[in-house]
Amino acid sequence: MLPLPDVARRLGQPRTRVHQMLREGQLLAVRRDGVPVVPADFLADGEPAVVKHLLGTLTVLRDAGFSDEEMLAWLFTADDTLPGTPIGALRADRGREVKRRAQALAL
């Protein structure tokens, strides 16, 4: 989990942009000890970007009525059909598979 200043630094953006990304649903943060933090796995390795397909997946989960905490739990819970976790599959560029599973939750 990364505090917002670290997220901004990794993305090469000002903190205000990270706050905007959170408001717009492009990122997800939860509070730990009163401090908003973002999972480090949401950020791409070696480049200043969010993991591909994360935004679309978050949108589908929000549309399905998931809270931020529920989305976070779902993304990090192992799914034998992927295999692995949804966030692991997103990081491996298997976003379509993840979004299909997220869409199935909304039905």
Rounded to whole angstroms, the Cα distance separating 50 from 90 reads 11
pLDDT score at 107? 65
Q: Residue 41: which residues within 8 A CB-CB, separation 6 or more? A: 51, 76, 87, 88, 91
Residue type, 88: G
pLDDT score at 43? 97
8 Å CB contact between 85 and 78: yes
pTM above 0.85?
yes
Q: HSE, CB side, 13 Å, CA atoms: give it for residue 76.
A: 13
Mapped onto helix, strand or coil, the DSSP state of residue 6 is helix
Flag whether pLDDT at 99 surpasses 70.
Answer: yes
pLDDT score at 76? 97
Mean of all residue pLDDT scores within the chain: 94
Flag whether pLDDT at 69 surpasses 70.
Answer: yes
46 pLDDT band, cuts 50/70/90, is confident
